[in-house]
Structure 1
Amino acid sequence: MIVTAIVNQRFMPPVVKTVEPDVRTSHMLRCFAGARENWLCLLIVFFYSFDFLTFESCVAPYVDRVLGITPATLGLYFLAATGSYVLTSPVWARLADACRNPYPMMAACILTVTVGTLIIPPSPLLGLAPRWWLFGLGMTLQEAFFGGAYIPCFQQMLQASVRRGLPDDLHTHAFVSSVYWSVYSLGTVVGPVSGGLLVDSFGFPVMMTCVAALTLLLFLLTLAQAVATSCRGDSRPADVTDERECAPA
Structure 2
Amino acid sequence: MFRYFNRNQTMTLLSLAIVDFMCFCSMSIMAPFFPKEATEKGLSNTLSGFVFSFYALVMFVTSPIFGKILPLLGAKFLFISGITLTGTCNILFGLLEYVQDYTLFSTLCFVIRGFEAVGASAFSTASYVFVVHSFPEKISSVLGILETFVGLGLSVGPAIGGVLYSLGGFQLPFFVLGVAMIAVTPINVFLLPPVNDFVVGTGGGSILKLLKVPAVIITSIVIIVISSIWAFLDPTLEPHLREFNLSPEQIGLIFFLFSALYGISSPFWGWLTDKFNNHWSMMVIGMVFAAIALLILGPCPYIPILVNTIWSNLLALSILGIFVALALLPAFQGLLKSAIDGGCDDSLATYSLVAGVWSGMYSLGEVIGPSLGGYLLHNYGFGVCSTVMALITLLTVRYSCPKRIHLNTTF
CA offsets per residue over residues 161-180 of structure 1, 9 Å max, x none?
A: 12223222222222112221
1:132 aligns with 2:338: no
Deviation at 1:83, TM superposition (A): 1.6
Q: In the alignment, what sits opposite 2:246?
A: 69
Deviation at 1:228, TM superposition (A): 4.2
The root-mean-square deviation of aligned C-alpha atoms, in Å, is 2.6
Partners of 2:349 and 2:364 lie apart in 1 by 23
Q: Name the CA shift for 1:34/1:132 in 2 (closer, same or farther; >3 Å).
A: same
Question: Structure 1 vs Structure 2: percent identity of aligned residues?
Answer: 23
Question: 2:280–2:334: 8 Å Cα contact kept in structure 1?
Answer: no
Deviation at 1:190, TM superposition (A): 1.7
In structure 2, runs of 5+ residues without a counterpart are 1-183
1:55 aligns with 2:233: yes
Q: How does 1:204-223 map to 2 (within 5 A)?
A: 204-223=382-401
Which structure has more RCO (C-alpha within 8 Å, separation ≥ 6)?
1
Query: Helix, strand or coil: the match of 1:72?
Result: helix
Q: How does 1:166-245 map to 2 (within 5 A)?
A: 166-223=344-401, 226-228=402-404, 239=408, 242=409
Q: In the alignment, what sits opposite 1:158?
A: 336
Deviation at 1:38, TM superposition (A): 0.9
Q: In the alignment, what sits opposite 1:232?
A: none
Q: Name the CA shift for 1:118/1:21 in 2 (closer, same or farther; >3 Å).
A: closer
TM-score by length of 2: 0.50
2:255 corresponds to which letter in structure 1? Answer: F
CA offsets per residue over residues 56-104 of structure 1, 9 Å max, x none?
A: 211212211x222232211111222222111110111111111232211
Deviation at 1:222, TM superposition (A): 2.0
Partners of 1:76 and 1:100 lie apart in 2 by 34
Q: 1:109 aligns with which of 270, 286, 289?
A: 286
Partners of 1:199 and 1:228 lie apart in 2 by 34
Number of aligned residue pairs: give it: 225
CA offsets per residue over residues 1-38 of structure 1, 9 Å max, x none?
A: 4444544428x9x85x79x8964x6xx23431232221
Q: Name the CA shift for 1:160/1:5 in 2 (closer, same or farther; >3 Å).
A: farther
Question: 1:122–1:130: 8 Å Cα contact kept in structure 2?
Answer: yes
1:118 aligns with 2:302: no
Structure 1 range deviating more: 112-121 or 79-88: 79-88
CA offsets per residue over residues 197-217 of structure 1, 9 Å max, x none?
A: 211111111111111111111
Structure 1 range deviating more: 159-168 or 148-157: 159-168
Question: 1:42–1:183: 8 Å Cα contact kept in structure 2?
Answer: yes
